[in-house]
Every structure is written in structure tokens, then in C-alpha cells.
Amino acid sequence: MAFEFRDEWIHSYRVDGYVILPQVLPPALIRDLRRATVRSHELARQQGGPQAQRLQPVVGQFSEAELKPFQDYLTLAPLVEAIRRILSPRHTLGNGNCDRLGLLLEPAAHPWCTPWHRDMRETTAGAYSGRTTVPDLEEFRRVRHDPLMFNQVNCPLYEDNCTWYVPGSYLRSDDLPAEAGTLASYPRLDDATPDEQREAACLAYCRGMPRAVRASMNAGDFMLYHPLGLHLGNYLPDRRRVTLHDYAPCPEQVDWISRWEKARNGQGPPAFSIEPPDMWHSPLVTSWRISRLMPKSGDVGSAAAVGLGDALDWTPIEADKTGPGQSMVNVHRVTGDADGIAYVGGRFRVDRPGVWDLLVGHDGGCRLFVDGKSVLCEPVRKNPARPDRSLATVRLEAGEHEIVCALDTDKGNGWGLYFRFRVHPESRADRWPFPVAVG
């Protein structure tokens, strides 16, 4: 049956903050997109490790021929017209290109869910109350409830029941008391929790939110939703997921998102300088191993000491090689907007005993361990990540040592870290060999 637009969808979107257009993608386009994305899981996990659930953007990941179905999707006439009618003629799917278009995937290992969240708030939550990450607070207060200003889209290529949403919540700035109670009940699951218990706990958390609805979608459906409404994702490893994720902005939203991302993530021109490597400062360490995302209880100060020998699905991670975050270990590239503790660790050989300053740059809260002992804890998030933000002075004997940093991802606001060594003043009698990474 051919897709037919319904005028009631305009009202539904503006009142509820979301709408699902059923089977707007024709079967032939679904087939082409499935064929084009057949390598998506392999590519995502090569780049982000086994827990990666996002491949974004698709540009640079696929050949020109593989990208053609994505272009066909962006220009699909019934979909283009539906967006024009629900939003306005000034809104275009993907801003007319694939630059932000990504793929959402199922987890490789265990069931889990994100916390209930809004993608933007006037202030950050909890210990950081009063700090804002929006580029212009007064402007944000004027436009945050505008149904035409912010939006995101999910378009599944296979049946997708992961997204939950609270209708009408985008029209409120604050959470209702019952909603706040559910937010505080996020399940804390450890490695020993059986998958069946994980699945049940996550589902109970989803259902515990008053008035929450599950966005049950078939292949080819199209969900348009306001990201300032309360929503979450609940994921199962045995349910194949390849869902197109993008937005359909007007020019004002494009400008806002650009300014917001620079303010939140420090991805504009760096507002800091860093002392270059010299006889006392090592180069930034760029090769590490990263754990799967671990649940947290409170802030990073409660993060347990772990080692590279622990079964945490450690995978290699390299620091970004280009861009404003050059040499930053980009944890967000692996964890996305999920909330928890990511451990980044490495082993280093020290040739001569001495006292060293460990210089850590981070935005999310950070706890640093050396050979299993905590030597630094800075729980407050400060965006953007800046090199050499925090310092720990330690004595290292000759031999191998293990350094592990626990980073609070803070619902996607903790992006990554920088690390290097500095020779402590009491060890500067002569030229000192820097510790060497050995794995």
C-alpha cells in the first residue's frame, strides 16, 4: 500500500513531541539500504570496540556506490513532503546531505538501557547544578519548547522497539516529582548480573516512567521526535538493529547545533595552549586500551580500582590524530551518550626510579590509579577537556607499572582525556628517560 500522509500527524507531533510515519520507505529502498549497511556492525566495532552501537557519520565509511541509497532516502519524495507539512518548507532531512547521518546498532554482548534523559537542559544535573552547556541561555529559554526548532529522526531498516518517549514532556522544562523518582532508579548492574535479570531490570526501569510509551516500529517506519522530551534507549543483543539516525533541521537549528556542540564538547578552536614536549614534558600518550562501559554509583570517586587483567572487554583505542581534539583519547567515540564509567589503561616501563608528575586532561570526572592505588580524584566535569588539567605526583620504581584512568561519561558530556608525564623537580638533576608504553 502506498504511503499516504495524514493531517492528524501535524497535531500529534506538536502536542506529543513525536510522531511515527508508518512504512514511508518502499521495500526496494529498504532492500538497497540493507545491502549498503551489511558491513556496519563490523566497521563500528573495528573503530569503537565490541560495545560500539553507533556508526556516524556514514560519510567516509562506505563507497560512493554504497552511499547512493542514503541519498535516495534523503530525497524520497513522500518523506520530503511529509517533513515539509509537519514542520515547514524550510526543514530538510539531513540538511540535504549525509554529513550527520549515522547508524544505530544493537549491542554485541549484554542487554542494557540508557538513563531517561533530555538531550539538552538549561543546566546540568546533580553535582553540577547551575552550570550550563548551552551557547546562549536566554536564547535557549526562548526556543526550547518550539516544536519547529529541534528534532531528531530514527528510521529502522529492521523492526526496532528500542526507543521510549514521554509524550508532551518536551513542553516542560522541569521533571515532575514522579519522573524525578524514576530518573533516580536507574538499575545498577554488575558483570555478574545474568542477562535475563539485566533485561528484566531495564524493562522495569522503562515502564516505571509515568506515561512513557514504547516506539514500536517496523522496517521502513519513520520517527520524528523532539530531543528535549524525556526519552531513552533499551537494547537487546539478540535483536538485530540497523536504524538510520539523523535530523531534519531548519537553518536556525543548524546554527544552534553547531554552537551548542562547540560549547558542550570543546570542538571549536582550542581555547588553551599546551607546553610542547621538552626535556621535562613527555609527548602526549596516544595508545591505550579501553574497557566496556561500566555502571556507576554516585560520581567517579566511587569507581573501583581495576586492572588490565580484569575481564572488562579491553580493546585498543588510539587518540584522535587530527582536529581540535588532536591527541585526545576520544572516549565518546566509543560510548556515545551512555552514562557510566569508562576505564582507559596502559602499561609503562620505567628505566630509572624517580618521582613523576602525571598530567591528566579531562572533561568528565576522573579518578587515576597507578598499580591499583588511587592517586588522583577530580569528580567535577569541566568542558572542554584541556591538557594538563589535573596533576598527581607519584614515585615509580624501575620496572613495569599499570596506569588506569576512570572517566565519568556523564550521559555523553564526558568526552575524553589527555595524558603525559612530567619530570618532577626533585628528579631533574640530569636528563631523565620518560616511561615507555609497553601495552
In a domain, 273, yes or no: no
Identify the burial level of 409 via C-beta atoms within 10 angstroms of its C-beta, where 0-12 means exposed, 13-18 middle and 19 or more buried. buried
Q: Which of 87, 80, 110, 57 is nearest to 3 (CA)?
A: 80
Do residues 251 and 384 share a domain?
no
Q: Please, what are the averages of pLDDT over each run of 10 residues along the chain (439 residues)?
A: 91 97 97 96 82 87 92 97 96 94 92 88 45 67 88 98 97 90 84 89 96 98 96 94 96 84 53 57 92 91 95 92 72 88 96 91 95 94 86 94 96 91 76 82
Q: Residue 22 has what pLDDT?
A: 97
Residue 383 belongs to some domain of the structure: yes
The C-alpha cell at 277 is: 614536549
Is 254 in the same domain as 326? no
How remote is the C-alpha of 419 from its chain's centroid?
A: 21
Same domain as 151, residue 201: yes
Same domain, 297 and 248: no
Task: Note down the domain range covering 342.
Answer: 287-437
Measured distance CA(347)–CA(369) in Å, rounded: 12
Do 150 and 18 share a domain, yes or no? yes
Cα dihedral 33/38/40/42 (nearest 10): 180
**Amino acid at the residue 367:** R
Instruction: Tell me whether residue 270 is in a domain.
Output: no
Q: Count up the domains in the chain and report the number.
A: 2
Task: Please indicate, yes or no, whether residues 195 and 87 belong to a single structural domain of this protein.
Answer: yes
Give the pLDDT confidence score for residue 79 in this predicted structure.
97
How many other CB atoms sit within 10 Å of the CB of residue 379? Answer: 17
What CATH number did the domain enclosing 378 receive?
2.60.120
What is the structure's pLDDT at 257?
81
Q: How high is the pLDDT of residue 278?
A: 66
**Residue 23: its pLDDT value, please?**
96
pTM for the full predicted model: 0.64
For residue 275, tell me if it sits in a domain.
no
Helix ranges restricted to H, 17-124? 27-36, 40-48, 64-74, 77-86
